[in-house]
Protein backbone atom coordinates (compact mmCIF):
# COMPACT_ATOMS: atom_id res chain seq x y z
CA UNK A 1 0.00 0.00 0.00
CA UNK A 2 1.53 3.26 -1.12
CA UNK A 3 -1.32 5.35 0.35
CA UNK A 4 -0.94 9.02 1.15
CA UNK A 5 -1.53 10.46 4.63
CA UNK A 6 -4.39 12.85 5.29
CA UNK A 7 -3.29 16.48 5.12
CA UNK A 8 -2.64 18.07 8.50
CA UNK A 9 -5.09 20.72 9.64
CA UNK A 10 -7.64 20.51 6.86
CA UNK A 11 -10.00 18.04 5.21
CA UNK A 12 -10.48 17.31 1.51
CA UNK A 13 -13.55 15.50 0.22
CA UNK A 14 -13.77 13.82 -3.18
CA UNK A 15 -17.19 13.34 -4.74
CA UNK A 16 -17.34 10.79 -7.55
CA UNK A 17 -20.13 8.54 -8.76
CA UNK A 18 -18.92 5.80 -11.13
CA UNK A 19 -22.46 5.43 -12.51
CA UNK A 20 -22.12 8.50 -14.71
CA UNK A 21 -18.78 7.54 -16.23
CA UNK A 22 -20.53 4.99 -18.46
CA UNK A 23 -22.68 7.61 -20.18
CA UNK A 24 -22.30 8.28 -23.90
CA UNK A 25 -23.01 11.54 -25.74
CA UNK A 26 -22.77 9.58 -28.99
CA UNK A 27 -20.12 8.56 -31.47
CA UNK A 28 -17.48 11.21 -32.15
CA UNK A 29 -18.99 13.68 -29.67
CA UNK A 30 -16.04 15.42 -27.96
CA UNK A 31 -17.47 15.14 -24.41
CA UNK A 32 -16.41 11.79 -22.97
CA UNK A 33 -17.60 11.06 -19.42
CA UNK A 34 -15.14 8.18 -19.52
CA UNK A 35 -12.33 10.70 -18.84
CA UNK A 36 -13.66 10.64 -15.25
CA UNK A 37 -12.87 6.93 -15.00
CA UNK A 38 -9.31 7.62 -16.13
CA UNK A 39 -9.01 10.43 -13.58
CA UNK A 40 -10.29 8.29 -10.71
CA UNK A 41 -8.01 5.40 -11.68
CA UNK A 42 -4.93 7.60 -11.46
CA UNK A 43 -6.09 9.16 -8.19
CA UNK A 44 -6.61 5.70 -6.67
CA UNK A 45 -3.42 4.21 -8.13
CA UNK A 46 -1.42 6.87 -6.26
CA UNK A 47 -3.36 6.05 -3.09
CA UNK A 48 -4.73 9.59 -2.87
CA UNK A 49 -8.09 8.22 -1.66
CA UNK A 50 -6.44 7.53 1.70
CA UNK A 51 -5.85 11.26 2.11
CA UNK A 52 -9.44 12.33 1.40
CA UNK A 53 -12.99 11.61 2.48
CA UNK A 54 -14.50 9.76 -0.49
CA UNK A 55 -18.21 10.12 -1.15
CA UNK A 56 -20.40 8.47 -3.76
CA UNK A 57 -22.85 11.30 -4.22
CA UNK A 58 -26.59 10.87 -4.60
CA UNK A 59 -28.59 12.19 -7.52
CA UNK A 60 -30.02 15.67 -7.06
CA UNK A 61 -33.82 15.71 -6.76
CA UNK A 62 -35.88 17.46 -9.44
CA UNK A 63 -36.86 19.97 -6.76
CA UNK A 64 -33.20 20.81 -6.15
CA UNK A 65 -32.59 21.27 -9.88
CA UNK A 66 -35.56 23.67 -9.99
CA UNK A 67 -33.82 25.95 -7.48
CA UNK A 68 -32.19 27.42 -10.59
CA UNK A 69 -33.77 25.80 -13.64
CA UNK A 70 -37.32 26.32 -14.84
CA UNK A 71 -39.84 23.62 -13.98
CA UNK A 72 -40.81 22.97 -17.60
CA UNK A 73 -37.16 22.48 -18.63
CA UNK A 74 -36.49 19.99 -15.82
CA UNK A 75 -39.74 18.15 -16.62
CA UNK A 76 -38.58 17.97 -20.24
CA UNK A 77 -35.15 16.55 -19.31
CA UNK A 78 -36.83 14.05 -17.02
CA UNK A 79 -39.19 12.61 -19.62
CA UNK A 80 -37.40 13.05 -22.97
CA UNK A 81 -35.91 9.96 -24.67
CA UNK A 82 -33.59 9.65 -27.68
CA UNK A 83 -36.47 8.45 -29.87
CA UNK A 84 -38.65 11.52 -29.17
CA UNK A 85 -38.92 14.04 -31.96
CA UNK A 86 -38.11 17.32 -30.24
CA UNK A 87 -37.98 19.45 -33.38
CA UNK A 88 -40.12 22.56 -32.99
CA UNK A 89 -41.31 23.70 -36.43
CA UNK A 90 -42.31 27.14 -35.09
CA UNK A 91 -38.86 28.10 -33.83
CA UNK A 92 -37.00 25.83 -36.30
CA UNK A 93 -34.92 24.45 -33.43
CA UNK A 94 -34.83 21.44 -31.15
CA UNK A 95 -36.51 21.92 -27.80
CA UNK A 96 -34.49 23.72 -25.14
CA UNK A 97 -31.48 24.03 -27.44
CA UNK A 98 -30.81 20.29 -27.49
CA UNK A 99 -29.23 18.98 -30.70
CA UNK A 100 -25.68 18.33 -31.90
CA UNK A 101 -23.83 19.98 -29.00
CA UNK A 102 -26.33 18.81 -26.39
CA UNK A 103 -27.74 15.51 -27.66
CA UNK A 104 -30.48 13.56 -25.95
CA UNK A 105 -28.87 10.25 -25.03
CA UNK A 106 -29.94 7.27 -22.94
CA UNK A 107 -29.66 8.05 -19.24
CA UNK A 108 -29.39 11.81 -19.83
CA UNK A 109 -31.50 12.78 -16.82
CA UNK A 110 -29.62 10.37 -14.59
CA UNK A 111 -26.31 11.83 -15.79
CA UNK A 112 -27.50 15.40 -15.11
CA UNK A 113 -28.89 14.70 -11.66
CA UNK A 114 -25.73 12.79 -10.70
CA UNK A 115 -23.23 15.52 -11.55
CA UNK A 116 -25.49 18.14 -9.99
CA UNK A 117 -25.97 16.01 -6.88
CA UNK A 118 -22.21 15.69 -6.57
CA UNK A 119 -21.67 19.46 -6.70
CA UNK A 120 -24.49 20.03 -4.19
CA UNK A 121 -23.06 17.41 -1.82
CA UNK A 122 -19.62 18.97 -2.20
CA UNK A 123 -20.97 22.47 -1.45
CA UNK A 124 -22.81 21.14 1.60
CA UNK A 125 -19.62 19.56 2.96
CA UNK A 126 -18.12 23.05 2.86
CA UNK A 127 -21.08 24.79 4.49
CA UNK A 128 -21.27 22.05 7.19
CA UNK A 129 -17.57 22.58 7.91
CA UNK A 130 -16.97 18.90 7.22
CA UNK A 131 -14.55 19.76 4.39
CA UNK A 132 -12.20 22.62 3.66
CA UNK A 133 -11.76 21.61 0.02
CA UNK A 134 -14.41 19.62 -1.85
CA UNK A 135 -13.71 18.16 -5.30
CA UNK A 136 -16.20 17.12 -8.02
CA UNK A 137 -14.48 16.48 -11.35
CA UNK A 138 -17.80 15.53 -12.97
CA UNK A 139 -19.19 19.04 -12.42
CA UNK A 140 -18.26 22.47 -13.72
CA UNK A 141 -20.79 22.56 -16.57
CA UNK A 142 -20.84 26.31 -16.88
CA UNK A 143 -22.89 26.96 -20.05
CA UNK A 144 -26.30 25.62 -18.93
CA UNK A 145 -29.02 28.26 -18.67
CA UNK A 146 -32.18 28.49 -16.59
CA UNK A 147 -34.36 26.99 -19.34
CA UNK A 148 -31.85 25.85 -21.96
CA UNK A 149 -29.03 23.42 -22.58
CA UNK A 150 -25.85 24.86 -24.12
CA UNK A 151 -22.34 23.73 -25.04
CA UNK A 152 -22.49 20.12 -23.72
CA UNK A 153 -24.10 21.41 -20.47
CA UNK A 154 -27.70 20.68 -19.41
CA UNK A 155 -27.83 21.47 -15.70
CA UNK A 156 -25.71 24.26 -14.27
CA UNK A 157 -24.30 22.47 -11.23
CA UNK A 158 -22.06 25.47 -10.53
CA UNK A 159 -24.99 27.82 -10.10
CA UNK A 160 -26.75 25.27 -7.87
CA UNK A 161 -23.62 24.82 -5.74
CA UNK A 162 -23.07 28.58 -5.41
CA UNK A 163 -26.74 29.04 -4.37
CA UNK A 164 -26.04 26.48 -1.65
CA UNK A 165 -22.91 28.34 -0.54
CA UNK A 166 -24.84 31.64 -0.48
CA UNK A 167 -27.10 30.25 2.26
CA UNK A 168 -24.06 30.49 4.56
CA UNK A 169 -21.62 32.82 2.82
CA UNK A 170 -22.02 36.54 2.14
CA UNK A 171 -19.64 36.56 -0.86
CA UNK A 172 -18.52 33.83 -3.25
CA UNK A 173 -15.76 34.26 -5.82
CA UNK A 174 -16.18 32.08 -8.92
CA UNK A 175 -13.03 31.49 -11.00
CA UNK A 176 -13.20 29.67 -14.35
CA UNK A 177 -10.07 28.48 -16.22
CA UNK A 178 -11.92 26.47 -18.86
CA UNK A 179 -10.89 27.71 -22.34
CA UNK A 180 -14.54 28.72 -22.91
CA UNK A 181 -16.33 31.66 -21.31
CA UNK A 182 -18.35 30.74 -18.19
CA UNK A 183 -21.43 32.44 -19.59
CA UNK A 184 -24.14 30.49 -17.72
CA UNK A 185 -22.68 31.28 -14.29
CA UNK A 186 -22.05 34.92 -15.25
CA UNK A 187 -25.64 35.31 -16.45
CA UNK A 188 -27.15 33.66 -13.36
CA UNK A 189 -25.40 36.06 -10.96
CA UNK A 190 -25.32 39.08 -13.29
CA UNK A 191 -27.34 41.37 -11.01
CA UNK A 192 -25.92 40.48 -7.61
CA UNK A 193 -22.82 41.59 -5.74
CA UNK A 194 -22.84 38.41 -3.63
CA UNK A 195 -21.05 36.50 -6.37
CA UNK A 196 -18.10 37.75 -8.36
CA UNK A 197 -17.53 35.76 -11.55
CA UNK A 198 -14.11 35.73 -13.18
CA UNK A 199 -13.53 33.76 -16.39
CA UNK A 200 -10.29 33.30 -18.33
CA UNK A 201 -11.03 32.20 -21.90
CA UNK A 202 -10.28 32.33 -25.57
CA UNK A 203 -12.35 35.20 -26.93
CA UNK A 204 -13.37 35.76 -30.51
CA UNK A 205 -16.92 36.99 -30.79
CA UNK A 206 -17.56 35.59 -34.25
CA UNK A 207 -15.55 32.39 -34.19
CA UNK A 208 -15.18 30.86 -30.76
CA UNK A 209 -17.98 29.48 -28.60
CA UNK A 210 -19.96 31.02 -26.90
CA UNK A 211 -18.80 34.39 -28.27
CA UNK A 212 -19.37 36.32 -25.02
CA UNK A 213 -16.90 37.42 -22.33
CA UNK A 214 -15.27 40.60 -23.63
CA UNK A 215 -13.07 42.62 -21.26
CA UNK A 216 -15.69 45.39 -21.06
CA UNK A 217 -18.49 42.97 -20.10
CA UNK A 218 -18.43 43.55 -16.36
CA UNK A 219 -22.04 43.43 -15.15
CA UNK A 220 -25.13 45.61 -15.56
CA UNK A 221 -24.25 49.00 -17.06
CA UNK A 222 -26.47 50.76 -14.54
CA UNK A 223 -24.11 51.57 -11.67
CA UNK A 224 -27.07 51.43 -9.29
CA UNK A 225 -27.35 47.67 -9.85
CA UNK A 226 -25.46 45.72 -7.17
CA UNK A 227 -24.09 43.46 -9.91
CA UNK A 228 -22.23 46.29 -11.67
CA UNK A 229 -18.48 45.50 -11.92
CA UNK A 230 -18.97 42.01 -10.41
CA UNK A 231 -18.65 40.03 -13.67
CA UNK A 232 -15.03 39.97 -14.78
CA UNK A 233 -13.72 38.62 -18.06
CA UNK A 234 -10.21 37.86 -19.24
CA UNK A 235 -10.37 37.48 -23.03
CA UNK A 236 -7.32 35.75 -24.51
CA UNK A 237 -5.96 34.91 -27.94
CA UNK A 238 -4.63 31.58 -29.23
CA UNK A 239 -1.50 29.96 -27.90
CA UNK A 240 -1.00 31.52 -24.45
CA UNK A 241 1.99 29.90 -22.70
CA UNK A 242 2.72 28.69 -19.17
CA UNK A 243 4.62 31.65 -17.72
CA UNK A 244 2.21 34.17 -19.22
CA UNK A 245 -0.84 32.27 -18.03
CA UNK A 246 0.40 31.81 -14.47
CA UNK A 247 1.47 35.45 -14.13
CA UNK A 248 -1.81 36.68 -15.58
CA UNK A 249 -3.82 34.39 -13.30
CA UNK A 250 -1.97 35.48 -10.18
CA UNK A 251 -1.91 39.17 -11.12
CA UNK A 252 -5.69 39.10 -11.53
CA UNK A 253 -6.89 36.63 -8.86
CA UNK A 254 -4.76 38.22 -6.09
CA UNK A 255 -6.40 41.68 -6.36
CA UNK A 256 -9.85 40.12 -6.85
CA UNK A 257 -9.51 38.37 -3.50
CA UNK A 258 -8.05 41.46 -1.86
CA UNK A 259 -10.78 43.82 -3.09
CA UNK A 260 -13.81 41.53 -3.04
CA UNK A 261 -12.94 39.59 0.16
CA UNK A 262 -14.84 36.41 -0.70
CA UNK A 263 -15.69 34.03 2.13
CA UNK A 264 -15.67 31.01 -0.23
CA UNK A 265 -14.19 30.25 -3.65
CA UNK A 266 -15.47 28.02 -6.46
CA UNK A 267 -12.82 27.04 -9.01
CA UNK A 268 -13.86 25.55 -12.36
CA UNK A 269 -10.81 23.69 -13.69
CA UNK A 270 -11.85 23.00 -17.29
CA UNK A 271 -8.90 21.11 -18.81
CA UNK A 272 -9.57 22.24 -22.37
CA UNK A 273 -7.22 25.15 -21.60
CA UNK A 274 -4.35 22.62 -21.81
CA UNK A 275 -2.14 22.49 -24.87
CA UNK A 276 -3.10 19.77 -27.31
CA UNK A 277 -6.78 19.81 -26.39
CA UNK A 278 -9.10 18.67 -29.16
CA UNK A 279 -11.26 21.82 -28.88
CA UNK A 280 -8.94 24.25 -27.09
CA UNK A 281 -6.28 26.54 -28.51
CA UNK A 282 -3.97 27.42 -25.59
CA UNK A 283 -0.43 26.14 -24.96
CA UNK A 284 -0.70 25.64 -21.21
CA UNK A 285 1.01 22.59 -19.67
CA UNK A 286 -0.39 20.49 -16.84
CA UNK A 287 2.02 21.98 -14.25
CA UNK A 288 0.92 25.52 -15.13
CA UNK A 289 -2.78 24.57 -15.05
CA UNK A 290 -2.15 23.06 -11.63
CA UNK A 291 -0.29 26.17 -10.49
CA UNK A 292 -3.61 28.03 -10.71
CA UNK A 293 -5.22 25.50 -8.36
CA UNK A 294 -2.26 25.70 -5.96
CA UNK A 295 -2.43 29.50 -5.99
CA UNK A 296 -6.15 29.57 -5.15
CA UNK A 297 -5.66 27.01 -2.39
CA UNK A 298 -3.19 29.35 -0.66
CA UNK A 299 -5.98 31.78 0.28
CA UNK A 300 -7.19 29.16 2.80
CA UNK A 301 -10.85 29.82 2.08
CA UNK A 302 -13.50 27.10 1.76
CA UNK A 303 -12.87 25.86 -1.77
CA UNK A 304 -15.09 23.97 -4.20
CA UNK A 305 -13.03 22.45 -7.02
CA UNK A 306 -14.93 21.44 -10.16
CA UNK A 307 -14.12 19.96 -13.56
CA UNK A 308 -15.53 21.27 -16.83
CA UNK A 309 -14.30 20.91 -20.39
CA UNK A 310 -11.35 18.79 -21.45
CA UNK A 311 -11.37 16.83 -24.72
CA UNK A 312 -8.11 14.92 -24.84
CA UNK A 313 -9.07 12.41 -22.13
CA UNK A 314 -5.58 11.16 -21.19
CA UNK A 315 -4.41 14.71 -20.51
CA UNK A 316 -7.60 15.67 -18.67
CA UNK A 317 -7.15 12.70 -16.34
CA UNK A 318 -3.50 13.56 -15.64
CA UNK A 319 -4.29 17.21 -14.97
CA UNK A 320 -7.16 16.50 -12.60
CA UNK A 321 -5.27 13.74 -10.79
CA UNK A 322 -2.31 16.12 -10.36
CA UNK A 323 -4.65 18.86 -9.13
CA UNK A 324 -6.17 16.41 -6.65
CA UNK A 325 -2.65 15.83 -5.29
CA UNK A 326 -2.16 19.59 -4.97
CA UNK A 327 -5.43 19.87 -3.02
CA UNK A 328 -4.25 17.26 -0.51
CA UNK A 329 -0.77 18.78 -0.47
CA UNK A 330 0.87 15.47 -1.43
CA UNK A 331 3.99 15.22 -3.50
CA UNK A 332 3.42 12.41 -5.95
CA UNK A 333 5.97 10.76 -8.20
CA UNK A 334 5.58 12.06 -11.77
CA UNK A 335 5.58 8.54 -13.19
CA UNK A 336 2.15 6.92 -13.17
CA UNK A 337 2.19 3.91 -10.81
CA UNK A 338 2.87 0.73 -12.77
CA UNK A 339 -0.39 -0.81 -11.51
CA UNK A 340 -2.56 2.07 -12.83
CA UNK A 341 -5.51 0.46 -14.66
CA UNK A 342 -5.87 1.34 -18.35
CA UNK A 343 -2.19 2.33 -18.46
CA UNK A 344 -2.32 1.66 -22.21
CA UNK A 345 -4.71 4.63 -22.57
CA UNK A 346 -2.25 7.16 -21.23
CA UNK A 347 -0.14 7.49 -24.33
CA UNK A 348 3.56 6.79 -24.66
CA UNK A 349 4.53 8.96 -21.75
CA UNK A 350 3.45 7.22 -18.56
CA UNK A 351 3.93 10.40 -16.57
CA UNK A 352 1.65 13.07 -15.08
CA UNK A 353 3.50 15.71 -17.12
CA UNK A 354 3.61 14.56 -20.75
CA UNK A 355 4.94 16.75 -23.52
CA UNK A 356 1.75 18.24 -24.93
CA UNK A 357 1.35 19.08 -28.60
CA UNK A 358 2.03 22.83 -28.57
CA UNK A 359 2.63 23.11 -32.31
CA UNK A 360 -0.95 23.74 -33.43
CA UNK A 361 -1.38 27.31 -32.19
CA UNK A 362 1.09 30.13 -32.45
CA UNK A 363 1.09 32.44 -29.42
CA UNK A 364 -0.91 35.56 -30.33
CA UNK A 365 -0.80 37.09 -26.83
CA UNK A 366 1.75 39.89 -26.63
CA UNK A 367 3.09 41.17 -23.33
CA UNK A 368 1.49 44.54 -24.05
CA UNK A 369 -1.88 42.92 -24.70
CA UNK A 370 -1.83 40.95 -21.44
CA UNK A 371 -0.79 44.07 -19.51
CA UNK A 372 -3.75 45.92 -20.95
CA UNK A 373 -6.06 43.11 -19.84
CA UNK A 374 -4.72 43.29 -16.26
CA UNK A 375 -5.20 47.07 -16.30
CA UNK A 376 -8.78 46.65 -17.50
CA UNK A 377 -9.53 44.29 -14.60
CA UNK A 378 -7.87 46.59 -12.06
CA UNK A 379 -10.05 49.43 -13.32
CA UNK A 380 -13.17 47.40 -12.52
CA UNK A 381 -11.90 46.44 -9.07
CA UNK A 382 -11.47 50.11 -8.18
CA UNK A 383 -15.26 50.45 -8.29
CA UNK A 384 -15.70 47.96 -5.44
CA UNK A 385 -16.01 49.51 -2.02
CA UNK A 386 -13.70 48.61 0.85
O1 LIG B 1 -19.36 26.07 -31.54
C2 LIG B 1 -20.37 25.53 -31.15
C3 LIG B 1 -21.72 25.70 -31.86
C4 LIG B 1 -21.89 25.20 -33.16
C5 LIG B 1 -23.20 24.59 -33.57
C6 LIG B 1 -23.20 23.07 -33.28
N7 LIG B 1 -22.08 22.42 -33.99
C8 LIG B 1 -22.06 20.98 -33.68
C9 LIG B 1 -20.78 23.00 -33.60
C10 LIG B 1 -20.76 24.51 -33.89
C11 LIG B 1 -21.86 26.62 -32.96
N12 LIG B 1 -20.37 24.74 -30.06
C13 LIG B 1 -19.17 24.43 -29.34
C14 LIG B 1 -19.55 24.09 -27.91
C15 LIG B 1 -18.36 23.97 -27.01
C16 LIG B 1 -18.78 23.58 -25.62
C17 LIG B 1 -17.66 23.61 -24.61
C18 LIG B 1 -18.11 23.13 -23.26
C19 LIG B 1 -17.16 23.48 -22.11
O20 LIG B 1 -15.90 22.90 -22.32
O21 LIG B 1 -16.96 24.86 -21.99
C22 LIG B 1 -17.73 23.00 -20.76
C23 LIG B 1 -18.00 21.56 -20.65
C24 LIG B 1 -18.47 23.31 -30.00
N25 LIG B 1 -17.15 23.29 -30.25
C26 LIG B 1 -16.90 22.08 -30.84
C27 LIG B 1 -18.10 21.42 -30.94
N28 LIG B 1 -19.05 22.19 -30.41
C29 LIG B 1 -18.31 20.09 -31.49
C30 LIG B 1 -19.51 19.44 -31.24
C31 LIG B 1 -19.75 18.17 -31.75
C32 LIG B 1 -18.76 17.56 -32.54
C33 LIG B 1 -17.56 18.24 -32.80
C34 LIG B 1 -17.34 19.51 -32.27
C35 LIG B 1 -20.95 17.47 -31.52
C36 LIG B 1 -21.11 16.21 -32.06
C37 LIG B 1 -20.09 15.65 -32.82
N38 LIG B 1 -18.93 16.31 -33.06
C39 LIG B 1 -20.25 14.27 -33.40
CA1 LIG C 1 -13.21 30.16 -18.73
ZN1 LIG D 1 -14.65 24.46 -22.36
Nearest CA to ligand 1 atom 32: 29
Q: pLDDT tens digits, residue range 9-45?
A: 999 999 999 999 999 999 999 999 999 999 999 999 9
Q: Measuring from atom 10 of ligand 1, which residue has the nearest CA?
A: 101
Average pLDDT, the chain: 97
In this predicted structure, what is the pLDDT of residue 242?
A: 98
* Percentage of residues in the chain having pLDDT higher than 70: 99
Q: Is 250 helix (H, G, I), strand (E, B) or coil?
A: helix
3-class SS string, 204-244: CCCCCCCCCCCCCCCCCCCCCCCCCCCEEEEEECCCCEHHH
Atom of ligand 1 nearest to the CA of 101: 35
Q: Which residues surround ligand 2, an ion (CB under 5 A)?
A: 176, 178, 199, 201
Can 181 be counted among the known catalytic residues?
yes
Question: Do 272 and 356 form a contact (C-beta atoms < 8 A)?
Answer: no
- Looking at residue 341, its pLDDT comes to 96
* The domain over range 12-381 is classified in CATH as 3.30.56.10: no
- Whether the full predicted model's pTM is greater than 0.90, yes or no, is yes
pLDDT, position 92: 85
Encode burial over 181-212: b for 16+ CB neighbours within 10 A, e otherwise.
Answer: bbbbbbbbbbebbbbbbbbbbbbeeeebbbeb
pLDDT at position 386 over 80: no
The model's confidence at residue 2, banded by pLDDT at 50, 70 and 90, is low
Determine how β-strand 93-94 pairs with β-strand 133-136.
unpaired
- In the chain, domain spans: 12-381
Ligand 1 site-directed mutation target among 33, 100, 145, 308, most atoms within 8 Å of CB: 100
Given the CA of residue 310, which atom of ligand 1 is nearest to it? Answer: 20
> Counting ligands in written order, which one lies closest to the CA of residue 151?
1
Query: 103 exposed, middle or buried (CB, 10 Å; 0-12, 13-18, 19+)?
Result: middle
Which pLDDT score, from 0 to 100, does residue 374 have? Answer: 98
Label residue 89 by pLDDT band (50, 70, 90): confident
pLDDT at 49: 98
pLDDT over threshold 90, residue 1: no
ipTM associated with this complex: 0.99
pLDDT band of 167, cuts 50, 70, 90: very high
Question: Which one is catalytic: 181, 201, 237, 289?
Answer: 181
- Mean pLDDT, rounded, for 279-285: 98
State which of 151, 156, 274, 306 you would mutate to test the pocket of ligand 1, scoring each by most atoms of that ligand within 8 A of its C-beta.
151
CB 176 within 8 A of CB 308: yes
Report how far ligand 1's centroid is from the alpha carbon of 101 (Å). 5
Summarize pLDDT for 206-263 with one digit per residue, the tens: 999 999 999 999 999 999 999 999 999 999 999 999 999 999 999 999 999 999 999 9
Amino acid sequence: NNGIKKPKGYTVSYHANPEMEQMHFGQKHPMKPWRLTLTNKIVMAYGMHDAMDIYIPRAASSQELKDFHSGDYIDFLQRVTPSDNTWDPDSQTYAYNTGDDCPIFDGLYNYCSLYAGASLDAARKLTNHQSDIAINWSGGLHHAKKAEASGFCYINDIVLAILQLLLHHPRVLYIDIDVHHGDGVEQAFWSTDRVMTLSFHKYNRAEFFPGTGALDTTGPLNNASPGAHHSLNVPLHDGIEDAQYIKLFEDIVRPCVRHYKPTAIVLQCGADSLGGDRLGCFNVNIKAHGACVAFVKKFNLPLLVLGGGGYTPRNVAKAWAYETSLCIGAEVHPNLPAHTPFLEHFGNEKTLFPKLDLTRYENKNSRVYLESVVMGIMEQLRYLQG
